[in-house]
Structure 1
Amino acid sequence: MSLFLPKTPTVLSVSELNRHAKAVLEQTFPLLWVGGEISNFTRATSGHWYFTLKDGQAQVRCAMFRHKSQYVDFRPENGMHVEVRALVTLYEARGEYQLSVESMRRAGLGALFEAFEKLKAKLAAEGLFEETRKQALPVFPRCIGIVTSPAAAALRDVLTTLRRRMPNIPVVLYPTPVQGEGAGQKIAQALQLADSRNECDVLILCRGGGSIEDLWAFNEEVVARAIAASSIPVISGVGHETDITIADFVADRRAPTPTAAAELATPHRADLHQRLDALHARLSRQTSRSLEQRMQQLDYLARRLVHPGTRIEAQLQHLNHLRQRQQQAASRALEQQEWRVQRLASRLARSAPAPQLLQAQQQQLGQRLELAMGQLLQHRQATLQRLAASLQHLNPEAVLERGFSMVRSASGKLVRSSADIALHEELSITFAHGSANASVTRKEEAT
């Protein structure tokens, strides 16, 4: 307590005391299993469960909240013996010690589950669950054996299914108790009897649903080994789809229900009729195609089977045809050679010299040359005269002939304006014929 109480003496409030007490309980006790009888069971509107767990000397309050209680697979009732996995705690508001329940199971199931898992691990280690040792079911069984109780409702379901699917298959019943003291040993004996008599092609081991205690005979080792030792394929159809037994793991096939086991054991009559119809149609199609191919082959052989005289006549016609083709080929080759010879002769004739023709061509070329030279000289003379006239117009002496003159300054620069000379400046005047010097005595500016 010194770990939770203050080091210095003080007065605790009730809530502080309860909080420390809760801490002590939760840290002292681990998550554990507690067994007892349910009383004062209450299901709140929130989905939480509240009840008392008691035995002959004491009781303890329990609370199981909705997110945990929804996984319980049975309905708890007052007087029911259960085992709960819970955490010891304290409800601080009222200072009440209680169990906070995590999970719940019927009393005694823990030992059953432990025995189930132990046997399952043992048989699995021996290889009894391996697929390689399991036998295939016959496609068309001649006889079906049923190992179950004559009073079991599952037997009626199996017989009804077999009658509906394949009513012509005989059925042999190997009666045995499927529940209660010694049921496992008797089920194994029934399996051994069916195996020794060897009158069936497949065995159906079945019973209806129930609690784990009701189905426990199918979890016994003697039954598992009898199934494994059977030379006849065994179908296990025990309980409902959610029920799993050791027999299911050892059996050659596991069916979720007895009815499903009967369906696995037999082909459906309607399916067989449908399959036969499909095979008949397929055989008819293949037969028709084969006959058509044979008829086509017969027609082909008939066309190939001809009279010897007809074949000789056809060969003669073929030879005549080949002779005609050879003559035509020879004629075409001769024509081609003649045409080639004519073409070479023509080329040779064109290549031979002709003196008279060459002399005529030479004279004609001389005349054409003289004519071309005369025309060229005339063209050159006309061009020269045109250029001379153009030069004559540009000659400054021709301008002087018309009465004009050129005035140059003393430096020899051509005078174009009175602004270019000064008074008393000596000027040189050139006329069409001769020249003179002059002095500037007066000048007028251009306006």
Structure 2
Amino acid sequence: MPRDAMTVSQLNLYIKNLFQTDPLLSDLWIKAEISNFKHHSSGHMYMTLKDPQCFVRAVMFRQENQRLRFLPRDGLKVLIRGYVSVYERDGVYQVYIQEMHPEGLGDLYLAYEQLKKRLGSEGLFDPARKRPLPMLPGAVGVVTSPTGAVIRDIIHVSSRRFPNARIRLIPVQVQGAGAAEQIAKAIQTFNRLGNVDVLIVGRGGGSLEDLWAFNEEVVVRAVSSSRIPVISAVGHETDETLTDYAADLRAPTPSAAAELAFPAKIVLLDHLRKYRIRMENATARRMDLSNARLVRIMESTVYKRPLDRIRQNQERLDQLLRRIGIWVSGSLKNQDLRLAGVAGRLEAISPLAVLARGYSVAMDPDTGRIINTVKNAWPGKKIDIRLTDGTIACLATQIRKGDQRDGSVE
């Protein structure tokens, strides 16, 4: 037996992985006719998709088929979006359906998906572009039909929630030829005038064809580029348009859009009442703390005898001055003693002091230098003898070397 032989389970898993990694089979549209339709008690739908030549098994799980707006049946031609994979247990490939539409609307759905993908790739539906609504708008602009139930619902809800609310309407056609251009132009007009804080763009429910104006690129781009926050209120909760993706907020109904745009006045008044109570309580606590602090200050010694602190500081200053005077006086005495000692030592070694003890100094009157050797004198040489109280001018008559009184004479 070959060592690399696969089990059936491994084979089916391998084939399933091939299907899942194929880009075409992971997301595709199929036109087909339904047969062998069965709506299981679990909520899942099982069926066969076929054309005149071939058929393939298909399943639509409950979480996907709950969004269907019609009930599939045998013989119905449909447009399906889904992916192909393998049911491992039976080794059979089948289509896993994610969306299903009647074939008559297939072209519109294909156009819808293609435009959604293209505009999404440009970032028009990016959640980061969404802006919050103002808490209390001064005025709300409405783009809708002037005769439909939408404007009546918005007026009714706004008068109930915020009676003094201001609504500005630009009437437009909401379906049919030219509707998309009118809607886009109305949004641009509100942005040019700048006289509202929020926009509600919407209409009542209807078929895909009825709502198609809100899937047109010109409307989606106008909503996305609006400087004024936009609430989309197109159709009913189960309806979905590209305007919903581009808007800053989607409302399931026009009435819900009005509730989002206009705050309930009674709720705002209740908030204001609570804020007022909190401010009053905070002010009272601040006053109590300030009063308590004032009482402590008034009872303090500083408040009752404010000059005590000044007098204490004056006493401390006097003490410091006395200590500085004592220190300076002692320091000066020490310096005087040191100076007297140095002067005594200088006096002891002073030449004048030596002369005062009976000594004299022989000096050359011509150069002013001391003659400290007989070599610098000769007979007939003028010499000044410096004594403690004056100078004797002398003339050398003879020179004797050494301590000689009767020695050799030069």
Give the corresponding residue for 2:152: 156
- Take 1:139 and 1:285, find their aligned partners in 2: how far apart are those partners? 26
1:236 match: secondary structure: strand
In structure 2, the partner of 1:214 is: 210
Q: CA contact under 8 A between 1:145 and 1:172: conserved in structure 2?
A: yes
Q: Distance in 2 between matches of 1:228 and 1:65?
A: 37
For 1:290, which of 286, 292, 295 is the aligned residue? 286
**TM-score w.r.t. length of structure 2:** 0.53
Kindly provide the CA deviation profile for residues 298-321 of structure 1, in whole angstroms up to 9, marking residues without a partner as x: 111110122479x79xx9xxxxxx
- In structure 2, C-alpha distance between the alignment counterparts of 1:239 and 1:223, rounded to whole Å: 16
Q: Deviations over 1:49-84 (max 9, x none)?
A: 99xx9xxxx9xxxxx999999765325799998668
Matches within 5 A, 1:10-409: 72-75=68-71, 105-304=101-300, 305-307=303-305
Shift of 1:132: 3.0
Counterpart code for 1:284: E
Supply the distance in 1 between the matched residues of 2:59 and 2:200 (Cα, whole angstroms).
44
| TM-score scaled by length of structure 1 | 0.49
Larger radius of gyration: 1
Q: Is the 8 A contact 2:31 2:103 kept in 1?
A: no
- Equivalent position SS for 1:284: helix
2:115 is aligned with what amino acid?
A: L
Report the CA distance shift for 1:67/1:114 in structure 2 as closer, same or farther (over 3 A): closer
Deviations 1:242-289 (A, max 9, x none): 222111111122222212211221221121011101101001101111
Displacement of 1:181 after TM fit?
A: 2.2
Report the secondary structure of 1:110's partner residue.
Answer: helix
Q: Secondary structure at the match of 1:235?
A: strand
| Distance across 2 between alignment mates of 1:249 and 1:35 | 30
Structure 2 counterpart of 1:158, which letter?
I
CA distance in 2 between partners of 1:70 and 1:235 (Å): 28
Percent identity at matched positions? 44
Task: Answer yes or no: is the 8 Å Cα contact 2:60–2:96 preserved in 1.
Answer: no
Distance 2:248 2:277 in 1: 35
> Match of 2:405?
none
Q: Secondary structure at the match of 1:237?
A: strand
Q: 1:125 to 1:150 in 2, by over 3 A?
A: same
Q: Which whole-Å deviations, capped at 9, do the CAs of 1:5-53 have from their partners, x for residues lacking one?
A: xxxxxxxxxxxxxxxxxxxxxxxxxx996679x9xxx999x99999xx9
CA distance in 2, matches of 1:225, 1:35: 34
Cα separation, partners in 2 of 1:110 and 1:142, compared to 1, 3 Å: same
Q: Is the Cα contact below 8 Å between 2:131 and 2:229 reproduced in 1?
A: yes
By how many angstroms is 1:142 displaced? 0.7
Gaps of 5+ in 2: 1-27, 53-57, 82-94, 313-410
Q: Does the Cα contact within 8 Å between 1:147 and 1:205 map onto a contact in 2?
A: yes
CA-CA distance at 1:188 after TM superposition: 0.8
By how many angstroms is 1:229 displaced? 2.2
Q: Matched residues in 2 for 1:43 and 1:125: separation? A: 38
Letter in structure 1 aligned against 2:229: P
More helix by percentage: 1
Note the alpha carbon deviations across 1:169-214, whole angstroms, 9 max, x for none: 2100111111122211211111112222221111101112222222
Counterpart-to-counterpart distance in 1, 2:193 and 2:178:
23
Residues matched between the structures, number? 264
Deviations 1:111-130 (A, max 9, x none): 22211111111111111112
- Whole-angstrom CA distance in 2 between matches of 1:278 and 1:66: 52
- Separation in structure 2 between the aligned mates of residue 289 and residue 102 of structure 1, nearest angstrom: 67
Quote the offset at 1:141 in angstroms.
0.8
The alpha-carbon distance between structure 1 residues 78 and 125, as it changes in their structure 2 partners (threshold 3 A), is closer
